[in-house]
Chains A and B, each alone.
Chain A
């Protein structure tokens, strides 16, 4: 009886989890490992739309995310899925880890801030998250992102261009780690490069729906969909549960522990509506800047790799330049649908689409606000100069990166407006004066309130955040199991 109506709600739960995306579902997985009998409620604003529905309708949700926040005119958009499974539905399954230095940007390069945890703290949970997602990846990438165990699946095929780059810089060019199956398993097919990952027709991509089904079919786990969390019910500095709107009515649901994973825009909004106030709450909203290029190749055919993005290039990633200039991670694409084939007869495949993820330095002024409206207001005036210098560095150094290829020309293509990575509005940190949650994702002041997902990002990093969000939640659940919280 996982999906329930309001009439089936229990009087109270050991844990109430808001949202059903990466942060929330991996927290649930971790909780059930350490406390299998805990009574847990998942509260999801959107509906359950199964895989067949999503593929048929080419949509992840009936609820338009653009209608769930109010941006300033002319500012960048944000993107997420409001529906059961959250971002696990719409993501493109790229799973690079964060760098060890990403966790200590301030102490290493003197900019940004440090996370309150280290790479080593998170490494075992990276492994666990990769095993749950069945990530396919190359083990030699451990030269950049140290690994204690092999990937659960072998890497996908590189393109010829990737292989040439790999040969020229073996420690800097890798097969992209990805939660797209290389080998079929349990009725899910391997990735066959449909390049429509939001609605993967063969279920190659990890989603909450295709992996966590049995977890939410347990008697002690309830899922309430169509229910929007309005606030955390606070009393005397303790969370007593949540207030939700469901079926047009407000309702209080009691919980001993409350964990909110409702993305980087709605989580801070919920906390604000709960009466929590903090100088950092809602601020430092950011995501990486995604710039794109088309590389015209001379005589080399492309698009012969196995998945839509095949190569990951770390040449511009880390180093002393990060003292004043953003790092950047290169994604070598194998998807001719982005720019199209090259419009020159007989040279159709002599083009290589490229993306660079350039980190930003989170700006205090970029923020989510509660101005009394039904939806949160978002203000993101600009990215940092640090990021802008990172973009310039990519443009200047790209010929060096591509030196092993027969490059005819490099064309800057339109920037990607959003990478769907909403980060930073409930940042984690060691200092309660400047951060919202600690390294275990527990609110500094309300100790039975947690924040899950990418809202807790302290710095931007260059990597896709979903794997890290999953690992952070697994770790948080593990720490909770070792804590004094014993009501389950």
Chain B
């Protein structure tokens, strides 16, 4: 299930990622951040993403879950190689990016809004220590 990005987003992210390849961890992270922001925008067309909270989520997610190498993969895979990356690399990025997307959706007001395009979607990351944080579970009596 490769997920395509627009060519423009690829160029923007690719430029940053290419710079990251040459410029160390911080620049690499900026490439990752741009790639993931582009991914969120691609997945949420017409939705007003609160970028500050999205950036904070990306920073937290990548800092805790992704190694430097994985950050490089994320930035470079979508930024440089684009939609034509090898399938294995593509799946790796897709799963990593989906985790960020999933957190953005489930740890924000997205599912509480009748029309997510009408007002900003703001993410408030939920620490893993917080109980009962699944969004859709049914705990009622068995049916």
In the complex, the answer to whether A192 meets B129 with C-beta atoms within 8 Å is no
In the complex, the answer to whether A305 meets B1 with C-beta atoms within 8 Å is no
Cβ < 8 Å to A, chain B residues 1-24: 1, 3
In the complex, the answer to whether B138 meets A192 with C-beta atoms within 8 Å is no
In the complex, the answer to whether B106 meets A193 with C-beta atoms within 8 Å is no
> Any chain A CB within 8 A of the CB of B140?
yes
Shortest beta-carbon distance from B32 to chain A in Å = 17
Tell me, in angstroms, the Cα distance from A305 to B143 when the chains sit together.
11
Among residues of A, the one whose C-beta sits closest to the C-beta of B142 is: A157
> Any chain A CB within 8 A of the CB of B118?
no
In the complex, the answer to whether B131 meets A157 with C-beta atoms within 8 Å is no
Shortest beta-carbon distance from B125 to chain A in Å = 13
Chain B residues with CB under 8 Å of A199's CB are 128-129
Shortest beta-carbon distance from B139 to chain A in Å = 5
Chain B residues with CB under 8 Å of A58's CB are 128-129
In the complex where A340-B102, A341-B98, A341-B102 touch, is A190 in contact with B139 (Cβ < 8 A)? yes
Among residues of B, the one whose C-beta sits closest to the C-beta of A341 is: B102
Pick from B3, B99, B101, B132: contact of A192, CB under 8 Å: B132
Chain A residues with CB under 8 Å of B95's CB are 339-340, 413-414
In the complex where A336-B102, A343-B43, A343-B98 touch, is A201 in contact with B138 (Cβ < 8 A)? no
In the complex, the answer to whether B132 meets A202 with C-beta atoms within 8 Å is yes
Chain B residues with CB under 8 Å of A296's CB are 1
Most chain B CB atoms below 10 A, which of A189, A301, A305: A305
> Any chain B CB within 8 A of the CB of A194?
yes
In the complex, the answer to whether B1 meets A411 with C-beta atoms within 8 Å is yes
In the complex, the answer to whether A306 meets B132 with C-beta atoms within 8 Å is no
In the complex, the answer to whether B98 meets A201 with C-beta atoms within 8 Å is no
Give the dominant DSSP class at B's interface: loop
In the complex, the answer to whether B99 meets A340 with C-beta atoms within 8 Å is yes
Most chain A CB atoms below 10 A, which of B106, B136, B140: B136
> Any chain B CB within 8 A of the CB of A22?
no
In the complex where A343-B3, A343-B43, A345-B43 touch, is A194 in contact with B133 (Cβ < 8 A)? yes
> Any chain B CB within 8 A of the CB of A444?
no
In the complex, the answer to whether A341 meets B106 with C-beta atoms within 8 Å is yes
Chain B residues with CB under 8 Å of A201's CB are 129-131
Shortest beta-carbon distance from A56 to chain B in Å = 7
Among residues of B, the one whose C-beta sits closest to the C-beta of A158 is: B142
> Any chain A CB within 8 A of the CB of B27?
no
> Any chain A CB within 8 A of the CB of B105?
yes
Q: Mark B30-54, 1 if CB is under 8 A from A, else 0.
A: 0000000000000111000000000
Chain B residues with CB under 8 Å of A341's CB are 98, 101-102, 105-106
Q: Mark B79-116, 1 if CB is under 8 A from A, else 0.
A: 00000000000010011011101100110000000000
Pick from B91, B106, B140, B142: contact of A336, CB under 8 Å: B106
> Any chain B CB within 8 A of the CB of A395?
no
Pick from B106, B130, B136: contact of A304, CB under 8 Å: B136
Shortest beta-carbon distance from B63 to chain A in Å = 14
Most chain A CB atoms below 10 A, which of B44, B98, B101: B98
> Any chain A CB within 8 A of the CB of B67?
no
In the complex, the answer to whether A157 meets B98 with C-beta atoms within 8 Å is no
Chain B residues with CB under 8 Å of A336's CB are 102, 106, 134-136
> Any chain B CB within 8 A of the CB of A13?
no
> Any chain B CB within 8 A of the CB of A251?
no
Cβ < 8 Å to B, chain A residues 337-370: 337, 339-341, 343, 345, 348-349
Chain A residues with CB under 8 Å of B130's CB are 194, 201
Cβ < 8 Å to B, chain A residues 307-348: 334-337, 339-341, 343, 345, 348
In the complex, the answer to whether B139 meets A192 with C-beta atoms within 8 Å is yes
Chain B residues with CB under 8 Å of A194's CB are 130-134
Shortest beta-carbon distance from B121 to chain A in Å = 13
- Contacts A158-B142, A193-B139, A337-B102 known; list 4 others, CB within 8 Å: A157-B138, A192-B131, A193-B137, A341-B105
Q: Which 10 A-B pairs have the closest CB atoms?
A: A340-B98, A192-B132, A201-B131, A340-B102, A193-B134, A193-B137, A303-B136, A341-B102, A202-B131, A304-B138
